[in-house]
């Protein structure tokens, strides 16, 4: 758990750091650099916990994993906004699984990270919804959505595995990965609908997903999405 979380925190910092070249204005540079610093602080917190409990550095393990499974990078400001929304939101829901973890050192560290992550969840959604509703990105928004939705869902791991069942049974986490996927999808549905997007089929996502996954948007109130009632974002190009 600690090794996986360290990988996710450093990978996120690297991904957002690479994306700084696409940020269009000081306003959003301040937000993104703050976010990168926060991800690095979270990485440091997990690394210190690992050193304290395992007696060795997690850094070599994380660097090898990053070399074997490098994080994807965004190629534009709009795609960076989509990555910030979906990759970050997926990580948030993944961490919420451990807020009542029976392994107390991990629960304490996760609680600190969650409290800080909550501060920018709504802002990421707002950027995506406002940019998508501007009409400027109609030709590319679905493609970027599907790419980063897949990365968001990968945060939860494969559903219905023995490891999932064991982790739930002993109190390490609250739900099977498939159930967490549904919680994540339900959370982003208003933004998906408000942005004029649609969920791809499980086959198109090329992921192992639970068969009962609900992807329906017809009854969703898109006005609940952050950014729905706002004007187009300044400096959106």
CA atoms within 13 A on the CB side of 134: 18
Cα 26 from chain centroid (whole Å): 24
Query: For residues 95 and 166, what is the distance between their CA atoms, to the nearest angstrom?
Result: 17
**DSSP conformation class of 175:** S
- Residue closest to 122 by CA, chosen among 234, 221, 230, 225: 225
Query: For residues 123 and 21, what is the distance between their CA atoms, to the nearest angstrom?
Result: 20
Query: pLDDT of the chain along its 237 residues, tens only?
Result: 899 999 999 999 999 999 999 999 999 999 899 999 999 999 999 999 999 999 999 999 999 999 998 889 999 999 999 999 999 899 999 999 999 999 999 999 999 888 887 767 788 899 999 999 999 999 999 999 999 999 999 989 889 899 999 999 999 999 999 999 999 999 999 999 999 999 998 888 888 888 889 999 999 999 999 998 875 444 444
Query: For residues 71 and 108, what is the distance between their CA atoms, to the nearest angstrom?
Result: 27
Name all domains of the chain by residue range, CATH numbers in brackets. Answer: 2-224 (1.20.1260.10)
Is residue 127 within 8 A of residue 227, CB to CB? The reply is yes
- Tally of residues, the chain: 237
């Amino acid at each position: 758990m600690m090794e996986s979380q360290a990988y996710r925190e450093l990978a996120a910092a690297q991904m957002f750091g690479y994306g700084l070249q696409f940020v269009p204005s000081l306003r959003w540079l301040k937000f993104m650099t703050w976010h990168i610093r926060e991800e690095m602080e979270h990485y440091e917190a997990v690394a210190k916990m690992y050193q304290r409990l395992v007696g060795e550095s997690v850094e070599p393990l994380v660097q090898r994993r990053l070399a074997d499974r490098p994080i994807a990078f965004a190629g534009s400001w709009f795609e960076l906004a989509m990555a910030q929304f979906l990759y970050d939101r997926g990580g948030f829901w993944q961490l919420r699984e451990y807020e009542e973890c029976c392994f107390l050192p991990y629960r304490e560290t996760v609680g600190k990270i969650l409290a800080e992550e909550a501060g920018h969840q709504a802002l990421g959604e707002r950027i995506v919804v406002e940019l998508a509703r501007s009409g400027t990105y109609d030709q590319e928004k679905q493609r970027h959505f599907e790419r980063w939705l897949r990365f968001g869902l990968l945060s939860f791991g494969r559903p219905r595995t023995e490891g999932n069942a064991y982790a739930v049974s002993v109190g390490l986490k609250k739900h099977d990965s498939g159930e967490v996927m549904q919680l994540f999808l339900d959370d982003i549905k208003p933004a998906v609908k408000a942005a004029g997007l649609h969920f791809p089929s499980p086959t198109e996502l090329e992921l192992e997903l639970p068969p009962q996954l609900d992807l329906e948007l017809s009854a969703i109130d898109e006005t609940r999405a952050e950014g729905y009632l706002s004007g187009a974002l300044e400096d959106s190009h």
